[in-house]
Amino acid sequence: MARSVVFTVGYEGRTPDELIELLARTGVRRVIDVRALPLSRRRGFSKTPLREALGAHGIDYVHLRDAGNPYRDLRADSKRCLRLYARYLDAHAAVLDAVEAAASERRAALLCLEACPEGCHRSVIATRLARKKRFSVKHL
């Protein structure tokens, strides 16, 4: 079976239009928002306006609240934060199952804030998906 690509993307430093253009250029048809709280101080990146802007360009929006990082307040110590998040995924297998199901239906990108995937919990999710050997990962 061929492996599907799952992308990850952070909106930090981008405008909504820049994000949408990047997603469209890479053929992403679904954004999986993995923020626990899909709110942003940056205009256009909260759940409703983001969903509407993506939809206007034929891109689905799925919010998976449970995929959010309950340890995000510890992000100053990113190694600890991501280690705790990995344990969270170990204890909540249904979270990864939900992400996998959403990513299997359409060419998808996991969305969070951080521009650098290594400091974001979406990289933990992507690594877990890649381990299942159904997905390869590409960070945008």
Residue range of the domain that includes 57: 4-139
How far apart are the C-alpha atoms of 19 and 127, rounded to whole Å? 22
Among the listed residues 128, 129, 35, the one whose alpha carbon sits nearest the alpha carbon of residue 75 = 35
The CATH number that applies at residue 96 is: 3.40.1010
* Chunked mean pLDDT (size 10), the chain, 140 residues: 83 96 97 95 96 97 96 81 95 96 94 92 94 87
pTM reported for the whole predicted model: 0.93
Q: Count the domains in the chain.
A: 1
